Amino acid sequence: MSRWQELELKYFMRTVERLPVTLIRGRGARVWDENGREYLDFVGGWAVDSLGHCHPVVAEAVTEQVQTLIQASNQFYTIPQIRLAELLVQNSCLDKVFFCNSGAEANEGAVKLARRYGKHYLNGACEVITMTNSFHGRTLAMVAATGQAKFQQPYLPLPAGFVNVEYNNVEAIKAATNSQTCAVMLEPVQGEGGVNLPSDNYLTAVRRWCDQKGILLILDEIQTGMGRMGTLFAYEQYGIEPDVMTLAKGLASGMPIGAIMAKDRASVFTPGEHGSTYGGNPVACAAGYATLKFIVENDIAGNAKRVGQYLASRLENLKQKFQFITDVRGHGLLLAMEFSSDIAHSVVMDCLDRGLLVNQLKPNALRFMPPLIIGNEEVDEALGILDKALSTIN
Ligand SMILES: *Cc1c(COP(=O)(O)O)cnc(C)c1O
């Protein structure tokens, strides 16, 4: 254990099981630890580093902004947040933006917006239907929205107003809808919950139901957005448009930011009803603007699609080779590999030893969410390491 790791043990609350590596710096899809060891990074800051580590356009935008204006009250206009808002609206089906600092905060705001909508248009309806195996964040209300017992049990009682129903089952949504329902909130593809894809026509059926009932469809695109799925936003691939969408993770390529986006008709906050001290922070928004502009101008979503297909095909090859790989699934550069037993941790550790960072999605599954700027060479390198690590099993 290094000096830093000893200090961490002494001073930190034990909220996370860290891997025994202290990262010092990063560049592109690579990071280096305190001993100068290099790793290929297929975790990407948890699907955050969309342009990789310290991308020049992001580093330059941040550097210029910290020397110009770091923070100002939202009582004043600041330019970076307005530029980012315009670019987000121009490149999505939504009309209005609210900026905050994280995914959970964005989802909290989206639920407040839906309740506000319910007060205006649905006789005070305030309940939000969410899905089992979802993940919407760690605040108390988002733990209530997150349909996974392990996140909820330690914190009972949870805030009221959420109903968790089975994912990929539109009948369950219909059965849970009543006069109190103001919105359905879901991830188009579930990330933390297992990289679970929507079944055919599920999202269109949910969209149709929301239209029929006049309730809002909130898409949590915090993990799937910003090009990771092969289109700028996942909804584009399923032939639907949300009324409200939340973003965070990849939006500013590593700077902390979150956003709620809404169609005009769902944009019902009035002054004073919602806010965030740091929301729309000029430095985070300058990073977001640089990130989104680069993604759009260089078709980074197209790259994620092409390289994602290649990565998926290479993972499929491993599945042919190793009997204990039971499933490969996902889309774009959000992919998972499942095993017949709980070997994910040992595979992660073995990959780490060999210079590759991968995420343990579940005791029996890995997740791959590398920066969106990688090419086939990085995939070949990562898969070479993974192949060796899997070859040591049993
Ligand atoms: C990570 C994540 C969140 C929570 O984001 P934080 O920034 O950690 O609060 C919410 N929803 C989804 C789909 C996520 O992947």
Catalytic position from the list 41, 49, 220, 350: 220
> pTM for the whole thing?
0.98
Fold match between 3-54+299-391 and 56-297?
Answer: no
| 3-class SS of residue 280 | coil
Atom of ligand 1 nearest to the CA of 220: 13
Q: For residue 320, report the distance from its CA to the centre of ligand 1, in Å.
A: 33
Quick one: tokens of 88? 């987000």
Does residue 350 have an active-site annotation?
Answer: no
Atom of ligand 1 nearest to the CA of 134: 13
Quick one: pLDDT at residue 336?
Answer: 98
Question: 59-70: per-residue pLDDT in tens?
Answer: 999 999 999 999
Asked whether 52 and 25 are in contact (CB, 8 A), the reply is no
Burial-class residue 315 by CB neighbours within 10 Å (0-12, 13-18, 19+): buried
Dist. CA 180–CA 319, nearest whole Å: 46
**Angle, vertex CA 186, rays to CA 52 and CA 236, nearest 5:** 60
Quick one: pLDDT at residue 1?
Answer: 86
Q: Using the 8-state DSSP alphabet, how is residue 341 labeled?
A: S
Which class does domain 3-54+299-391 fall in?
Answer: alpha beta
Q: What are the sequence ranges of the domains in the chain?
A: 3-54+299-391, 56-297
| 3-class SS of residue 175 | helix
**Chain-centroid distance, C-alpha 67:** 30
Dist. CA 244–CA 267, nearest whole Å: 9
Residue nearest to atom 6 of ligand 1 (CA): 103
Q: Nearest to residue 354, comparing CAs of 379, 322, 314, 389?
A: 389
Give the residue, out of 131, 136, 196, 257, with the most ligand 1 atoms within 8 A of its beta carbon, to mutate for a pocket test. Answer: 136
Residues of the chain with pLDDT > 90, as a percent, come to: 99
Question: 75-97: per-residue pLDDT in tens?
Answer: 999 999 999 999 999 999 999 99
Quick one: pLDDT at residue 164?
Answer: 98
Question: 246-287: per-residue pLDDT in tens?
Answer: 999 999 999 999 999 999 999 999 999 999 999 999 999 999
Q: What is the DSSP string of 199-237?
A: PTTHHHHHHHHHHHHT-EEEEE-TTTTTTTTSSSSGGGG
Which class does domain 56-297 fall in?
Answer: alpha beta
Asked whether 111 and 266 are in contact (CB, 8 A), the reply is no
